Amino acid sequence: MAQERGDKMVKQNAMQFAHTEIGKRALKAAAIVGALALFIVVSMFILNNVIATPVSPREAQIRGWVSVLNDKALTKERQAAQQKLEAAGEEAAPALISALSANDAILRGNAAEMLGYIASPRATDALTQILRTDRVAAVRVNAANALGSIQAAAAIPALAASSVVDPSQSVRQASADALENVYARVAQSAHKNISQVQAIAVAPGQTNVAYLASGRDLLVSRDGGAQWDTLAQTLPSLVSTLDVNPTNANILFAGLHSQGMYLSVDGGRTWQTLTRNFSNQAIGQSTVTAITVDPANPMRVIMAHGIRFGDSNATFVPLGILTSQDGGKSWQHVMDLQEGQIVTRLQVRDNQVFALTANQVLIAPLP
């Protein structure tokens, strides 16, 4: 009897073991089949997309012209291709934009140049990326020149940064020249002559938002400069510089010609003074000539200031560059400025401040 029970238990255990092994094998097989099915689906998706979007004869023709741009010399073939691409206009923009990511620097540079000839607004983002990141200075120069031809307000933050921090003097100059072209076009879009405009700023994190100061009026566009609203007589005084918070386009800093610095947190409708936080104005009128907000830390604000005195505040003496870690409530010294060192533009990179003057870029570590 005991023997029969033992034999029965052995048989039951053997059957359970067999079932377990079969189950494991079944699960393993199911997993393999699932993986194969997924692979087939993905492969079919890729093939279907490739097959479903064949290159048209016209696209193939344009790509052929673009491929000729890798000639360093201006050969007859390349010259003919450039003429055909320019005639194609916007139709050639996608292929040229794609060429900006090519491994060949000559092709990238010539593609950027062609996008400038075409003046394709859709190329603005790709060209600003090239301006910021391309390792070849000649390519960055062509990208800056192209942005100056396109004249989109969205390019202002990238051009302003490159005009100060780029290690190549030729890139800085090309960016500065392009920036002036864009400023003039933005002023025109707001129905202003550039001589009537004291400052223009575009939100770095929201490049469709632009501000323009003209007298005490502040003009605001929220569609890249296509349309403008005027906040009449809202500015505290004549502005010398504007800058926008990189994460909140409604936070705006204004450096004034003779009343220091002001802050708006509602898109320029109302203003509060920050001047008392860094200047007692005991010996002259406080002037802020340049402002920037650290793109990596929107609470860190850097500005260059000095004083005006004499008849009609005609004499200006630069004092130094200050930084605030709390949005302008308190300030720390960064560096002194010498006579004649009037800072017109500031940028922050790698915990350093870059200050553009008439003939040089000053660099100092930030505390």
Phi and psi torsions of 365, nearest 5°: -70, 150
**Confidence band, pLDDT 50/70/90 cuts, at residue 10:** very low
Amino acid at 171: V
Both structure tokens of 342: 């009037």
- Give the pLDDT score at 226: 95
CA nearest to 117, candidates 83, 91, 94, 140: 83
**Confidence band, pLDDT 50/70/90 cuts, at residue 237:** very high
- Give the pLDDT score at 17: 41
The tokens 């052995």 sit on which residue?
A: 10
Angle, alpha carbons 343-224-263 (nearest 5°): 45
pLDDT tens digits for range 293-313? 999 999 999 999 999 887 666
Task: Tell me if residue 145 falls in helix, strand or coil.
Answer: helix
In contact, 98 and 130? CB cutoff 8 Å: no
pLDDT tens digits for range 119-164? 999 999 999 999 999 999 999 999 999 999 999 999 999 999 999 9
* Mean pLDDT of all residues belonging to the chain: 88
- Give the pLDDT score at 278: 82
**Confidence band, pLDDT 50/70/90 cuts, at residue 14:** very low
Task: Tell me if residue 201 falls in helix, strand or coil.
Answer: strand
CA–CA dist 367, 352 (Å, integer): 9
Give the pTM: 0.83
Point out which residues pair with 211 in neighbouring strands.
201, 220
CA nearest to 111, candidates 127, 125, 99, 94: 99
**Confidence band, pLDDT 50/70/90 cuts, at residue 315:** confident
Both structure tokens of 180: 């002036």
Phi and psi torsions of 166, nearest 5°: -65, 135
Domains, the chain, ranges and CATH?
124-233 (1.25.10.10), 236-365 (2.130.10.10)
Decide which of 231 and 51 is more confident. 231
Using the predicted structure, report yes or no on whether residue 117 has a pLDDT greater than 80.
Answer: yes
Average pLDDT (55-82) is: 92
Residues above pLDDT 70, as percent of the chain = 83
Task: Tell me if residue 137 falls in helix, strand or coil.
Answer: helix
The CA-to-CA distance between both ends of the chain, in Å, stands at: 91
Helices (H), the chain: 2-52, 57-67, 76-88, 93-99, 105-118, 124-133, 137-150, 156-165, 169-189
In contact, 335 and 323? CB cutoff 8 Å: no
Point out which residues pair with 210 in neighbouring strands.
202, 221
**Confidence band, pLDDT 50/70/90 cuts, at residue 6:** very low
Angle, in degrees to the nearest 10, between helices 124-133 and 156-165: 20
Average pLDDT (32-48) is: 50
- Give the pLDDT score at 283: 53
Both structure tokens of 24: 């494991």
- Give the pLDDT score at 55: 80
